[in-house]
Amino acid sequence: MRTDQFLTLVQWLSPSYPIGAFAYSHGLEWAVDAQQVTDRETLQAWLETVLRHGAGRTDALFLCAAYRTEDVTDVDAHARAFAPSAERLRETVLQGEAFSRATRDIWNIDMPVMTYPVAVGFAARLHGLPLDQTMQVFLHGFISNLAAAGMRLIPLGQTDGQIVIKELAATCIEIADAAMKGSLEDLSSTAFLSDIASMRHETQYSRIFRT
């Protein structure tokens, strides 16, 4: 990957890119409130499950499928239908809309409104960015955002939070490599407690995150 491509990818998936990722906890807020996640070890276990068996894996497949097709309409429809709750759908739609809008305005390219992983895959193909590295950095950004949410919610020290991100980096690479060999036929999700958390968060009494 050329340096300019690498820097484009880093900019897109940086916390400073205006998609509002900091406002979403992916159900983690409920998990902390319910004392399912209480420290570094339980946070790492929760996030690894989401990566391997939940949205980490499925979003990688959606990103990969969007990258490999000329018409992303069907991939985007699958991504919307696969959301397990109203909050998860809102999370991927609103972040995708924000990513599409920012990328369109900054790079002057035609970016239709899409769910977040589909939008990233579509934009990466337009820019000729390597698919494998795009997925790796996408997953790393996803898990970094949730680790940052965990630091605020548990609360957890910054060093412990960064240890969690470091420990899960190899998992991001593993999930991306598996998605390269897969397709939408391989879609599945068995991170059931994470899905339930997103549903219960909808009616949680006190919330600081949108999901």
**Could you give the CA distance from residue 103 to residue 95 in angstroms, rounded to a whole number?**
12
pLDDT at 183 (0 to 100): 95
Q: How far is Cα 21 from Cα 26, in angstroms, rounded to an integer?
A: 10
* Residue 26 token pair: 């992916």
Cα–Cα distance for residue pair 132/144, rounded to 1 Å: 18
What's residue 210's pLDDT?
93
Dihedrals phi, psi of 172, to nearest 5 degrees: -60, -45
Report residues of the chain scoring pLDDT below 70.
none
pLDDT of residue 208: 94
Query: What was the pLDDT predicted at 2?
Result: 87
Q: Considering the entire predicted model, what is its pTM? A: 0.97
